[in-house]
Structure 1
Amino acid sequence: MKNALDVKVGLTTLLVFLRPYRRQILFALIALVVTAGTMLSVGKGLQYLIDDGLTSGSQAGLNKALLVFMGLVFVLGIGSFCRFYLVSWIGERVVADIRQSVFAHLLTLSPSFFEDNSPSEIQSRITADTTLLQSVIGSSLSIALRNSLMLVGGIAFLLVMHFKLTLILLACVPVVVVPVIFFGRRVRRLSRNSQDEIANVGQYLSQALRHIKVVQAFSHEDHDVQRFSHAVDKAFSVSVKRIQQRSWLTLMVILLSMSGIGVMLWFGGKSVISGEISPGDLASFLFYSVIVAGAVGAVSEVMGDLQRASGAAERIMELLSAKSDIVGGTLERFEPQAEAENNIIAFEQLSFCYPTRPDHAALNNLSFSIKRGEMVALVGPSGAGKSTLFELLLRFYDPQQGQIRLAGHPLKDYSLKALRKQFALVPQETVLFDQSVYENLGYADRAASHESIQQAAGQANAHEFISRLDKGYDTRLGEDGVRLSGGQRQRIAIARAILKDAPILLLDEATSALDAESESKVQAALDPLMKGKTSLVIAHRLATVLNADRIIVMDKGHIIAQGTHTQLLESCELYKRLADLQFNQSAQ
C-alpha cells in the first residue's frame, strides 16, 4: 500500500502542469474509453462470427458477421490514432513546460545553491529525468488507464458469460498483484539510484570536456578514461539491478496469469464437451480472459515505469521547491534619500562567511562609504575580501552581520532587478556564451542596436579583432568563448559593461589579461566612461589605479589603510611593499 502511495505522491506533483490542458486530456480520455470499449466489443464480435457465421453454415450470416467485426476494427483503429496523438502531444507539451519552469526557477536561486548542487547534475535532471516523464505521461500512463478499463470491462463480461470460470480466473489476480507490490518498491528505489548515477556520469563527462586543454596538457587522458569507466560501470550495475527486479516481475506476472488461463481452458473445454456452452462462447470467454490477463500484465509492467517516473518527478520537484536565500524587496526605482546625497554606497560593519566555508570570515566588521562619482580602488593580496564586496553589492549573497546601503536604502529594500540595474560588472573571469558576438554583448542591453553594440566594442578596443572573425559580429564564440584569447574575452566583457551604461561600475581586474598596448587603449576608453559615475575597482596591478580618488588596502577581510597613492606609500607598509615589488619589476 505504501508503494502505491509513494507513486501517487510522486506523480500528483505533476498535476499543476497538466491542468492547463484539461480539454486535450478530456478528448484523450474519450478516445481511450472508445478504444477500450471497442476492444471489449471485439470479443462479442468474435462470438457472433463463430456461432452465427462459421458454425451456422450460412454464407450471408458469415458476411454479416464479418462486416460487424471489421466495423469494430475500423472504429478501434481511428480511436487508437486519436488516443495516441493526443496523449503523446500532452506528454511532449507538459515536459516542455516542466523544463521551462525548472530553468526559470533555477535562474532565481542564489549562487550558494549551485555551490551545493552541481550544474551538471541539475542538467541531467532537466534532460534525462524529464525525458523519462515524457515517456510515462505520453505512453505508459495511457497504457495503464486503458488496460485498467479493459481489466474492469473484461471481468464484467466474464462474470455475465460464466460466473464459475470467472471466479477461477479472478483467484489468480491477487497472486499476480502481490509480486507487483513487492518488486515495485525495489524498482522505485533502484530507479532513483539509477538516475543519480546517470547524472554523475554526465557531470564527469561535462567537466572533462569543458577542461579538455588541462586534461591533455597534463597527459591525464588515461586516468580520466579509467575514472569515467568506473562511473559508467557503477551506473550500469545499478541499472542491471533495476532490470533484474523488473524481469522477475514480468516473469511472475506471465507465469501466474497464463497458468490461470490454462486452468480456465481446461474447465471451459469440459463445458463445451458437455454442451453447457457453445464454441463461440468459449472463444469469446478465452478472448476476454486473454484481455484480462494481458491487462494485468500490462498494468504490472507499467507500474515499473510509474515507479521510475515517480523517482524522476521527485528529483524535478526538488529543484522546483528549492528556495533562494536571496529575496528581493519592493523598491523598484533608484531613489536617493536626502541624507545619502553624497554617499551613494555605504558598507556598515560587514561580517561575512561563504556558506561553504562557515568557519572562515571573508569580511570582518568592515565599514566604509563611497561618494557619488568617486573612483575607489581596492588593493591587497588574494583572499583579502575584495571580490566578496562585489558579490555582496550584487546580492549574490547577504552578509551575516551588518548591512550595505545604496543611496541611503538597505540593499534588501530594492527588488533584485532594480538593484542590479545600477551596476555594470566586468568580472575577473570573463563569462561568454556559445552565441554570436551580438548576442553576447546584448546581455547588457537587449534593446541596443547593432550600431550601439559596435560603438561599445570600439570603445573597448574590441571592434578590430571582432571584424576579423569569420562572420564578424555574427560569429559564434563557442562555449566559454573558446574561439577567443583571454585578452579578447576580457575586452568583450568591458564592451558589455560600456553598453550597459549603469551609474556604478564594478571592475574586477578589468585589464588583467591585456597586453600593454591594449591595456593602454582600454584604459583610455574607461577613463572618460568613469567620469560622472561611481567606480569601484579591484586591482592587483597598481599602475592601473594610480589616479583613483581613494585607494583602500585590504587584508584578511579588514581595511588596514586608505588614501591616495602618495599617502599610502608613506603610511601603509603593505601597500608600499606591493608598490615596490611591482614598480621595481617593471623597471627591470
Structure 2
Amino acid sequence: MRARSSGGSAAGEAGARPRPPAQAAANRARGAKKASRTEDVLSRFHEETQLGEAYDARMLLRLWPFVRPQGKHLALSLALLIVTASLALLRPLIMRDALDAFDAPGGLDHLTRAGILLTGIMLVEQSLAFPQLYLMQLAGARAMADLRIRVFGFLHTRRLGFFDRTPVGRLVTRVTNDVDAIGEIFASGALNAFGDLIRLAVIIVVMLSLDWRMSLLAFAAVPPVALGVNWTRRRIRDAFREVRSKTARMNAYLNEQVSGMAVVQAYAREERSAEEFDEINAAYRSANNRSIVLDATLDAAIEMVSSVCIAAVLWYAGVKSLKEQVSFGTLFAFVAYIDMFFVPIRDLSARYTLLQSAMSGAERIFELLDNKDEDATATAASSTGAAAAADERVAFELDNVFFGYKPGVPVLRQVSIAARSGEKLALVGATGAGKSTVASLLLRLYDVEDGAVRVFGRDVSAYPRDELRRKFAVVPQDVFLFPGTVLTNIAAGDAIPDRAKVVNALNRIGALDLFERREGGLDGPVLERGSNFSAGERQLIAFARALYRDPPILILDEATANVDSDTEARLQRALEGAMEGRTALIIAHRLSTIRAVDRIVVFHKGSVVEQGTHEDLLATGGVYSKLYRLQFARQEAAHA
C-alpha cells in the first residue's frame, strides 16, 4: 500500500514536473494567441453591435423631420395599439378564472360570463384595429410623399454635370423603390414594434406573478434570440444594400434600352440586349437570394429556440400539474401567455428585417441628398465677376473662360466673347468645337473652371437661378415635349397657360393654322416625348415656347437643323421679327442661315479663331471661308 502510494506520489510528481522552458513559452504563446482571438471576436461583436445601433439611430433621426408633421396621427395610432394590446392580455386571465371556477358551484355561470366578456373584448379589439392601422398607414403615406417631394426637388437643384454622371434609372430608384422600402415600416405595421415591446413587458410581469420558475424557462429563449438577431444585423443590412444597388442597376439598364429601342431594333441587338439583361437580372436574383437566406435562417432559429423552450415549460408545468401544484386554469393561462410571449418576438424579428431594408433605402436616399456638389441654386459672386462693373449695354460676356466636362479634357480654352444688347451673334465651327457649351455656361448649367461668365454685367454665379434663367429662352436642336397639350407645352413653366400669349407666339412664327387644324387644336394631346408630332412640328412648338417667354436673350442651338426647307424658310421669316429688339445667340450648322447676323464667331478645337461679318470672314480666306465653301460644294453635289 505504502509502496503503491509512494509510486503514485512519484508519478504525480513526475506528472507535475515543469516542462522545458521552450515548450512552456510556446504553450503560453498559444494560450495568449487564443485569448487574443477570443478578445478580437468579442471586440468585433461589441463594435458591430454599437455601430449597428448607432447607424439605425442616425438614419431614424434623419427620417424624423418627415415623420414629425404626422406626430398626432402616430401618437393616436400608438395609443390605440396599447389599448388593443392590453385588452388582448386580459383574455388568458379571464379564461383562468373561468376554468378554475368551473367545478365549483355556479361554474357554468362563471363560464358564461367569461364568454360574454371575451366576446366583448374581442369586438372592441377589432373595432379599434381599423382606426389604428388606418392612422399608422396614413401617417406613413404622407411622410413618404414629403420625402419623395424632397428628393424630386433636390434633383431640380442639380446642374447637368450631375445628370451626366448619374444614370437616370438609379435616380428613379431613389424616388420610387428606396422610398417605398422606408414606407414599408408604416405599411407593414413595423412601427407596431413599440406595441410589441410594451406587450412583452406586461407579459413578463404577468408570467412572473403566475409562476416565476416556469417564467425563467420561457425567458431562456431570449439570449439566443438576441445573439441571433445581432449576428444577422450587419449581414442583412449589407444584403439589402446590395439588393438596392442591383435594383438601381436594373432600372438604369431598362431605361436605357427602352429609350434606345429604335436603335436596338434597327441594329438587331435584341438577343444581345436580352443576354445583358439576363446577366443583370441574375445578379439581382443572387443578391435577393442572400437576403432571403439570412431572413429565413433568423426565422428558423427563432422558431427552433422558442419551440424548445415551450416544450420545456410544458414538461415542467405538466409535472407540477400532476402534483396538483398548479391549477388547470393557471396552466392554461400560462401556456397562452407563453404563446403570446413568442408571437411578438417572432414579429420583432420579421419587422427587424423590414427595418434593415428601410435603413438601407434611407442610406441611399440621404447619400443622394448629402451631395452638395453641382448645386445649381448656389449664388456666390466670383472674384473676377465681382471686380467687373455692371454694364447693361453688354448682354452677355465670356471673359477668358477655361472649361472641360471632364478633368484634364478641356472643351473651351481661354474663350473671350461679348455681345452687345440687341446684337445678333452667331457661333460656328466643326462638331465638338465648343459652341453649345457656351450656351450651357450662360445658363449656368455648368460652372467654369477659370475665367468669368457675365450676363448684363453681372457674374452668373451671383444670380439666383430663377432670375438668371428668366433672361433666356432656348430653342434646342432636339426638342423635348412633355405629356399634356400643345397649349401647356408652349406655356411650359406657367401653372395656368395664357391662351392669348400662346396664340400670339404661334402667329409670330406663322404656325397657328398648322396646329389649329390638328385634332383638338391647341388642346390636342401631346404624347410622351411628343411622339405624335413630326420633328418640324416639335421644332415649331419650341420656337413658340421661346417667344411665349419673351426674354431679353434668345438662344438658338442649331434650331433649324431638324426641319425641312419649307419649315426652315417659314422660321427664318418669323425669326427676323422675333429677334428684333432682343439679343440673339445663334449656334448654327447651316452657314446659309446666318448671313444676316451682326457678327460671326468661329470656333476651332475649343478656341475662338475668327470674328467678323459673313463678307469679312469670306474675304479673309480662313476657317470660316473653308467651312462655307465645303458646305456650299456639298449642297451643289446634292442638287446635281
Same fold (TM over 0.5): yes
Identify which range, 493-502 or 110-119, moves more after superposition: 110-119
Q: Are 2:581 and 1:532 aligned?
A: yes
Quick check: 1:345 aligned with 2:396? Answer: yes
Kindly state the Cα deviation for residue 323 of structure 1 after the two structures are TM-superposed. 1.8
8 Å contact from structure 2 (residues 168, 255) kept in 1: no
Q: Which moved more, 1:493-502 or 1:203-212?
A: 203-212
1:114 aligns with 2:143: no
Aligned-residue offset at 1:447: 4.8
Equivalent of 1:521, from 545, 548, 570? 570
Report the residue type matching 2:290 in the other structure.
K
Taking the aligned partners of 1:82 and 1:54, their CA distance within structure 2 comes to 41
Please state how far the C-alpha of 1:446 moved relative to its aligned partner: 4.2
- Measured in 2, the distance between the counterparts of 1:441 and 1:172 equals 68
Matched, 1:82 2:142: no
Residue 322 of structure 1, CA deviation: 2.1
Q: Deviations over 1:511-533 (max 9, x none)?
A: 11111111111111111111110
Aligned equivalent of 1:334: none
Verify: 1:541 aligned to 2:590, yes or no.
yes
User: What amino acid does structure 2 have at the position aligned with 1:348?
Assistant: D
1:373-392 correspondence runs (5 A): 373-392=422-441
Q: CA deviation at 1:206?
A: 1.5
Report which stretch shifted further, 244-253 or 205-214. 205-214
Q: Alignment partner of 2:158: what SS?
A: coil
SS for the counterpart of 1:364 is strand
Gaps of 5+ in 2: 1-48, 382-387
- Mean CA deviation greater in 76-85 or 244-253: 76-85
Q: Post-superposition shift, 1:183?
A: 1.8
Aligned residue among 286, 290, 297 for 1:237: 286
Aligned twin of 2:484: 435
2:271 is paired with a residue whose SS is helix
Letter in 2 for 1:411: V
Q: Is the 8 A contact 2:488 2:497 kept in 1?
A: no
The equivalent of 2:306 in structure 1 is 257
Q: Where does residue 274 of structure 2 map in the other structure?
A: 225
Partner Cα distance (2:266, 2:514) in 1 = 27
The answer to whether the 8 Å contact 1:11/1:309 transfers is no
- Say which SS state the counterpart of residue 13 (structure 1) adopts: helix
Shift of 1:466: 2.6
How far does residue 339 in structure 1 lie from its aligned partner after superposition?
5.8
Distance in structure 2 (CA, Å) of the matches to 1:484 and 1:501: 24
Q: Deviations over 1:73-124 (max 9, x none)?
A: 1221122222111111111111111111111111111111112221211101
Two-structure CA RMSD over aligned residues (Å): 1.8
2:340 to 285, 288, 291: 291
Higher mean C-alpha deviation, range 371-380 or range 471-480? 471-480
Query: Which one-letter code corresponds to 1:272 in the other structure?
Result: S
Query: Match of 1:45?
Result: 94
Q: Distance in 2 between matches of 1:379 and 1:569?
A: 13
Does the Cα contact within 8 Å between 2:133 and 2:189 map onto a contact in 1? no
Tell me how far 1:347 sits from its aligned partner.
1.3
Taking the aligned partners of 2:228 and 2:267, their CA distance within structure 1 comes to 53
Cα deviations by residue, 1:358-394 (Å, 9 ceiling, x for unpaired):
1111111111211010000000111111111100000
Tell me which of 306, 329, 341 is aligned to 2:379.
329
Instruction: Tell me the distance in 1 between the aligned counterparts of 2:537 and 2:158.
Output: 30
- Name which of structure 1's ranges 429-438 and 537-546 shifts more when overlaid on structure 2: 429-438
SS of corresponding position for 2:70: helix
Identify the match of residue 371 of structure 1 among 420, 426, 431. Answer: 420
Deviates more, 1:451-460 or 1:570-579: 451-460
Name the counterpart of 1:196. 245
Residues 45, 466 of structure 1: alpha-carbon distance in 2 compared, 3 angstrom cutoff: farther
Structure 1 counterpart of 2:254: 205
Deviation at 1:419, TM superposition (A): 0.7
Deviation string 1:313-348 (CA, Å, 9 cap, x unpaired) is 1111122222242344389xxxxx986142221211
Correspondence for 1:453? 502
- State the AA in 2 paired with 1:342: R
Q: Is the 8 A contact 1:424 1:502 kept in 2?
A: yes
1-structure distance, mates of 2:83, 2:509: 67
TM-score normalised by length of structure 2: 0.88
Mapped to 2, the partners of 1:301 and 1:129 lie a distance apart of: 19
CA contact (8 A) 2:618 2:625 kept: yes
| Shift in Å, 1:56 | 5.7
Q: State the 1:479 CA deviation.
A: 2.1
Query: How do 1:5-84 and structure 2 match up within 5 A?
Result: 5-53=54-102, 58-84=107-133
Structure 1 contact 187–307 (Cα < 8 Å) conserved: yes
Q: SS at 2:477's partner residue?
A: coil
Q: Distance in 2 between matches of 1:185 and 1:329?
A: 41
Partner of 2:22: none
Q: Secondary structure at the match of 1:578?
A: helix
Correspondence for 2:323 among 271, 274, 285: 274
1:39 and 1:576 map into 2 onto residues whose CA distance is 90
Corresponding residue for 2:26? none
Deviation sequence 1:541-564 (CA, Å, 0-9, x none): 111110000001011111101000
The partner residue of 1:156 within 164, 182, 205 is: 205
Give the deviation of 1:175 after TM superposition.
Answer: 1.0
Question: Which residue identity does 2:372 align to in structure 1?
Answer: K
What is residue 311 of structure 1 aligned with on the other side?
Answer: 360
Does the 8 A contact of 2:473 with 2:549 survive in 1? yes
Question: 8 Å contact 2:395–2:553 — kept in the other structure?
Answer: no
How far, CA to CA, are the matches of 1:572 and 1:400 in structure 2? 33
CA separation of 1:128/1:338 partners in 2, compared to 1, >3 Å: closer, same or farther? closer
Q: Is the 2:144–2:183 contact (alpha carbons within 8 Å) kept by the matching residues of 1?
A: yes
| Aligned pair partner of 2:173 in 101, 107, 124 | 124
1:93 equivalent in structure 2: 142
- Show the counterpart of 2:43: none
CA distance in 2, matches of 1:54, 1:114: 78
Decide whether aligned partners of structure 1 residues 469 and 201 sit closer, same or farther in structure 2, where only a CA change above 3 A counts.
farther
Deviations 1:563-588 (A, max 9, x none): 00000012252111111112233344
**Greater shift in the superposed pair: 441-450 or 174-183:** 441-450
Q: CA deviation at 1:8?
A: 2.4
Cα offset for 1:444?
Answer: 5.1
Q: Per-residue deviation at 1:137? A: 2.3
What is the SS of the residue equivalent to 1:322?
coil
Contact 1:377 1:537 in 2 (8 A): yes
Comparing 482-491 with 535-544, which one deviates more in the overlay? 482-491
CA contact (8 A) 2:70 2:142 kept: no
Tell me, in whole angstroms, the C-alpha distance in 2 between the residues paired with 1:15 and 1:345.
Answer: 45
Q: Is the 8 A contact 1:129 1:313 kept in 2?
A: yes
Partner of 1:216: 265
TM score, norm. by length of structure 1: 0.95
